[in-house]
Amino acid sequence: MEIARDHYLRQLIEKKDNGRVKIVTGIRRCGKSFLVFTLFDRYLRENGVGDDQIISLALDELPNAKYRNPIELDKYVRDRITDKTKRYYVLIDEIQFVSEIQNPYVDDPEAKLTFIDAVIGLMRIKNADIYVTGSNSKLLSTDILTQFRDRGDEIRVNPLSFAEFYSVYAGDKRSAWGDYYTYGGMPLVLTFKTHAEKSKYLLDLFRNTYIKDVIERHKILNDSSVLEDLLNIVSSSIGSLTNPTKLSNTFGSEKHIAISPDTIDTYLGYFSEAFLIHESLRYDVKGKKYMKTPLKYYFTDVGLRNARLGFRQQEETHIMENVIFNDLKRRGFNVDVGSVEYNYRDDNGKKERKQLEVDFVLNQGSRRYYVQSALTVADPGKRQQEIESLIRIPDSFKKIVVVKDYITPWRDDNGILYIGVEQFLLDDNSLDV
């Protein structure tokens, strides 16, 4: 089964031959290698690039272990760029496997060579265009970005969107939605038929790939049980406001374990580095400022989250919110959690202050949207509850309510757009319906 990843392929094509290294990042097993080594490779060949002009190297394969040395990697590529009149395309998979080594040409014990030295050196070859993939966000840490300066472009690949999932799904949209919010969008999930097979695959990814990577990378073997407990707690609280202090208190009350908020914050950072979770900051819409806490965490893939909990907590409200968040991030928006404060008097005339939540505040350049996720707004009282925050926002940017119900898109007297989740996810232009 081949799944088109046109959203990401277009980005690679647009950035082709721009003189910068293309860094393809994302959670392991989400399809980065397939994108670069199958889809992009095919595009190159179909557009006149010869076999000898494509230099491919998968560093996670044992026969290529030698090239995890940055000096050997550099030599491997340079030895294959033999004709100055030809354009070469260098595709390196899992670049984070390249080790940091002592520079053998200087006496300074602090002098190191890393994959950055190898990649920047290859970029200087005038007839070479460089593409690398990686599964660790440290590839794009502040220090590394400083060294790349303006010489690198990130293409962040996510698990399958609902539209990509549905494009190869053998069933109708409603059935596809049920499977998607249950099993998520890891590409191989679509190759399995039964719940047991899908569940085992997702759990194995967690145990043998993601958790193992985090533990080994950060050398936290003694606290691995705490790390896993934290992941369970975060899995249970997607779509809920929280912070490291609150999570620390949860450990104390439920696990009877004393763990500091700083340690919790560090471990959450590890999950983010592995692309397992994303955080969404809280934004005061009226005050036009960010609030440090509380904030929300969402899983990069809801199937992984559900498998982590043994498919026991299938709250469609929060899962749907997570799916929408992921799709909005894929579309390139900055996605924050909105807070709208207003003052009123209670029945006794006493002044009160209330905080209302907007699920998502989207920003992209000069564009802004407010999006609310709701299973249904068929009941007038429920609809009023869902839009209470939206109607109190003092600006004219577009406001949208995404519902599970299959509906024809419509607008109410406040100009708020209501649209079904399937239509919203299947159309990248749905924000502008």
Q: Is the pLDDT of residue 288 over 80?
A: yes
Note whether 52 and 26 are within 8 A (CB).
no
* Ranges of each domain in the chain: 6-156, 159-433
Q: What is the mean pLDDT of residues 260-277?
A: 92
Residue 420: phi and psi, rounded to 5, are -70, 150
Pairing of strands 398-403, 417-420: parallel
Please report which helix (H) or strand (E) contains residue 79, including its range: helix 70-80
Model confidence pLDDT, tens digit, residues 310-358: 998 788 899 999 999 999 999 999 999 999 988 877 777 777 888 999 9
Predicted pLDDT of residue 146: 64
Predicted pLDDT of residue 212: 87
Predicted pLDDT of residue 273: 87
Predicted pLDDT of residue 197: 97
Buried b (16+ CB within 10 A) or exposed e, 385-404: ebbebbeebeeeebbbbbbb
Model confidence pLDDT, tens digit, residues 73-120: 999 999 999 999 999 999 999 998 999 999 999 999 999 999 999 999
Q: Is the pLDDT of residue 45 over 60?
A: yes
Percent of the chain beyond pLDDT 90? 78
Predicted pLDDT of residue 139: 66
When the pLDDT of each residue in the chain is averaged and rounded to a whole number, the result is 92
Predicted pLDDT of residue 143: 57
Predicted pLDDT of residue 187: 97
Note whether 221 and 339 are within 8 A (CB).
no
User: Which residue bears the tokens 């006794």?
Assistant: 348
Q: Is the pLDDT of residue 142 over 60?
A: no
User: Which residue bears the tokens 């809801």?
Assistant: 302
Q: Is the pLDDT of residue 419 over 90?
A: yes
Model confidence pLDDT, tens digit, residues 236-258: 999 899 999 999 999 988 888 88
CATH 3.40.1190.20 for domain 6-156, yes or no, is no
Q: How far apart are CA 219 and CA 19, in angstroms?
A: 37
